[in-house]
Amino acid sequence: MNRWLLRNVNDEEVKKAASSVNRDSSQCEDGFSGNFYHHFWHVIGADIVAAVSDFFKCRRMLHGLNHTLLALIPKGRRPLMHIIISPNQSAFIKGRLISDNILIAHELTHHLNCKQKHSSQELALKLDLSKVYDRVEWKYLRLMLHQLGFHAHFIELIMQCVETTSFSTLMESNAFDYFRPERSLHQGDPLSPLLFVICMEGLTSLILQMEL
């Protein structure tokens, strides 16, 4: 597995990745859209391939390449809804999910059915995983990658993608407040869901050990 992960990337792989970028959106502050890279690949392709290859060899990423603009979207305030609406109502109330009531009803039904067949007591565990991407500790992610057997070289590649992230808030087409997070996974990144699954593997392992 590690041998395949650490293989050298070729020109075609880099070109394919660049071509998969949305042509109508800009990934950086320079304003160049995906269509620019696609149309002028014959001019800039060699430089991009060289930069990507250098990252895989040196395991260092320029901070500017991992910078993200955050667009602030105003949301309507509902400061009283959770107070005046009973807890039994879960739809369209901030902090509540309509699926919670469906799940509770299913669990209660299942529990009653099992109680008729077995005399032993049963235990159900339901975890609240709100804002899980924002709460992922980078040290824990690095530890999990190591525990799962990934090569140190590959771990550094992954952590460079995670730890070099920086943000700026975008207001009226102007970028303000440059800052860098100290934890969390970048939402919208196709890599983040996979890294989160890896983080959850630690909890899964602990639960399985308790069963033994």
> pLDDT, tens digit, for every residue of 151-192?
999 899 889 888 888 777 777 667 777 777 888 887 777 788
For residue 26, is it within any domain? no
Summarised one tens digit per residue, pLDDT across range 129-153 is 778 788 889 999 999 889 888 899 9
State whether residue 157 is helix, strand or coil.
helix
Query: Is 57 a residue whose pLDDT tops 70?
Result: yes
Summarised one tens digit per residue, pLDDT across range 110-130 is 777 777 666 566 655 667 777
Please name the residue that has the structure tokens 């440059």. 178
For residue 173, is it within any domain? no
Report pTM.
0.62
Burial class (CB in 10 A: 0-12, 13-18, 19+), 188: exposed
Selected residue with higher pLDDT from 208 and 28: 208
Query: Is 86 a residue whose pLDDT tops 80?
Result: no
For residue 90, is it within any domain? yes
Region of 26 (left: φ > 0; alpha: ψ -120 to 50; beta: rest) is beta
Summarised one tens digit per residue, pLDDT across range 16-32 is 888 887 777 766 666 67
pLDDT of residue 92: 58
For residue 208, is it within any domain? no
For residue 74, is it within any domain? no
For residue 3, is it within any domain? no
Give the chain's radius of gyration (CA, Å): 23
Query: Is 10 a residue whose pLDDT tops 70?
Result: yes
Distance CA 137, CA 185 (A): 9
For residue 113, is it within any domain? yes
Selected residue with higher pLDDT from 73 and 197: 197
Based on the structure, what is the number of domains in the chain? 1
For residue 103, is it within any domain? yes
Give percent above pLDDT 90 in the chain. 5
Cα atoms in the 13 Å half-sphere on the side-chain side of 96:
16
pLDDT of residue 138: 92
* Enclosing domain of residue 89: 81-117
